[in-house]
Amino acid sequence: MIEIACQLKDNVLYPFSSEDQEKLKGYKDNQVVKAKIQGAKRPRSYIQLKLYFACCKTVAENSSEQMWNSKEKVDFNCRVACHFVNPDLVCVQKDGTVEFSYRSISFANLRHIEACNYFTQAFEVMAKKLNITKDNLLKNADT
């Protein structure tokens, strides 16, 4: 199963980017493809989300630390550093320790303004990890 972003134009879905188009090359012309579609009236920027994960990848590729050596780990560490917790899933144990569940940044779970605030903080965390400016991080991210 693949995941791609599409945009609707004149009632026809088109791949959003060249990467999304490349993912479709495994299918044949006129092949029926079953898909689950999710959208929003005011969707958050796919380009913004793509830039975020490109920055995560950049940090991972330039980090020798085991906890920062994959884009998934960088993403998780950014959520922790930004304290991006789900307030409905905070657990206090009997011994008083607090356990947090971190929020998802998926389109379905996060409004646009919340995402913008998170990304602003996360880009700063990633830049600091590499000891560079946020602008340099964004310029060096391979989108």
Please check whether residues 26 and 61 belong to one and the same domain: no
Please check whether residues 54 and 32 belong to one and the same domain: no
Per-residue pLDDT 10s for the chain (143 aa) are 777 778 778 888 888 777 778 888 888 888 888 877 766 555 557 778 889 999 999 999 999 999 999 999 999 999 999 998 888 888 888 998 988 888 888 766 677 667 778 899 999 999 999 999 999 999 988 76
Closest CA to 52 of 128, 130, 125: 125
- Report the SS3 class of residue 40: coil
Please check whether residues 15 and 64 belong to one and the same domain: no
Produce one character per residue of 74-84: b if its CB has 16 or more CB atoms within 10 Å, e if not.
bbbbbbeebeb
pLDDT at 130: 95
Domain hosting 81: range is 46-140
Please check whether residues 69 and 93 belong to one and the same domain: yes
pLDDT at 132: 95
Instruction: Identify the helix (H) or strand (E) that includes residue 7.
Output: strand 6-9
pLDDT at 102: 86
pTM of the model: 0.69
Please check whether residues 11 and 61 belong to one and the same domain: no
Please check whether residues 65 and 88 belong to one and the same domain: yes
Domain count of the fold of the chain: 2
Please check whether residues 81 and 32 belong to one and the same domain: no
Please check whether residues 79 and 103 belong to one and the same domain: yes
pLDDT at 65: 93
Please check whether residues 99 and 78 belong to one and the same domain: yes
pLDDT at 103: 84
CB 52 within 8 A of CB 119: yes
Please check whether residues 31 and 58 belong to one and the same domain: no
CB 41 within 8 A of CB 34: no
pLDDT at 41: 54
Please check whether residues 23 and 53 belong to one and the same domain: no
